[in-house]
Amino acid sequence: MFDFSAETTRNSLERSLRNLGVGYLDIIKVHDIEFAPNLEYVFTQTLPVLQEAIIEGKVKYLGVTGYPVSILQQAVESTPIKIHVVLSYCRNTLIDDSLSEIIPSLQKKGVGVISATATAMGLLSNAGPPDWHPATNEIKMVCREAAKYCKELNVELGKLAVYHSLKKDGVAMHVVGMNTMDLLNSNLNIVYNGITAHEKRVLEHVKEKFFSRLRKGHWEGLELKRYNEITAAEDS
């Protein structure tokens, strides 16, 4: 369960410093802020502890993460405590480009933008997502069809997804998960060499033939609803 209280935040910070064996952290991020009771709770409980840590020299920069892009923007604009970095995931992809909506306002405030999981946690890959993936059945079906098409043409959908995400202006850093050397080399090749003409044609085709059909490319609210149902059941 999520706990954004001041005491837990302080204990978590101190534990991280001990576990890492360091005297300070370059960046500390409050994870998945949409799961807090409300943003005001984060503003009054969580962020003041971390601001104090910055003053004490235990942290250099403060960030927040979350799935809804609106809550990231709201956090930056509403708290008097300076937020230096936001991390958004699955919102700069072939099926959901909503990160673009908040980048200009974040840049005006000098906030760095980190974009994570270009493959939408495996949806946009030939192998497909893990069983626990929270996306709707419609999204999963369309992504399966796109992956099947890519396989038939000997193209990796995940490579197209990473290429698409890396081209986004205004993103300071991309976080890409890799568990093999082949994936590492593939991603480095995309960074330095881009993709082939054949892969570019396939990319345009999957966008037009498959992803343009999606009524909604995100699953915002679904995980929060399940979380609230679980916590309500435990409290009853």
Q: Are 8 and 48 in contact (CB under 8 A)?
A: no
At which residue do the structure tokens 């009524």 appear? 215
Range with lowest mean pLDDT among 21-25, 40-44, 179-183, 204-208 = 179-183
d(Cα 230, Cα 52) in Å, to the nearest integer?
Answer: 33
Q: What is the pLDDT of residues 141-188, one digit of tens each?
A: 999 999 999 999 999 999 999 999 999 999 999 999 899 999 999 999
* Residue-wise DSSP of 115-179: EE-TTTTTTTSSS---TT--S-HHHHHHHHHHHHHHHHTT--HHHHHHHHHHT-TT-SEEE----
**pLDDT exceeds cutoff 80 at 235:** no
Within 8 A by CB and 6+ apart from 32, the residues are 2, 65, 66, 67
Within 8 A by CB and 6+ apart from 81, the residues are 43, 47, 48, 50, 51, 62
**pTM assigned to the model:** 0.93
Q: What is the pLDDT of residues 35-66, one digit of tens each?
A: 999 999 999 999 999 999 999 999 999 999 99
Q: Are 80 and 42 in contact (CB under 8 A)?
A: no
Strand order, beta sheet including 173-175 = 25-30, 59-66, 85-89, 112-116, 173-175
d(Cα 21, Cα 9) in Å, to the nearest integer?
Answer: 18
Q: In angstroms, how far is the first alpha carbon of the chain from the final one?
A: 16
Q: State the helix-helix crossing angle for 47-55 and 6-20, rounded to 10 degrees.
A: 50
Q: Are 110 and 83 in contact (CB under 8 A)?
A: no
12 token code pair:
């978590």
Domain boundaries, the chain: 6-235
Q: What is the DSSP letter of 9?
A: H
CATH architecture, domain 6-235: Alpha-Beta Barrel (3.20)
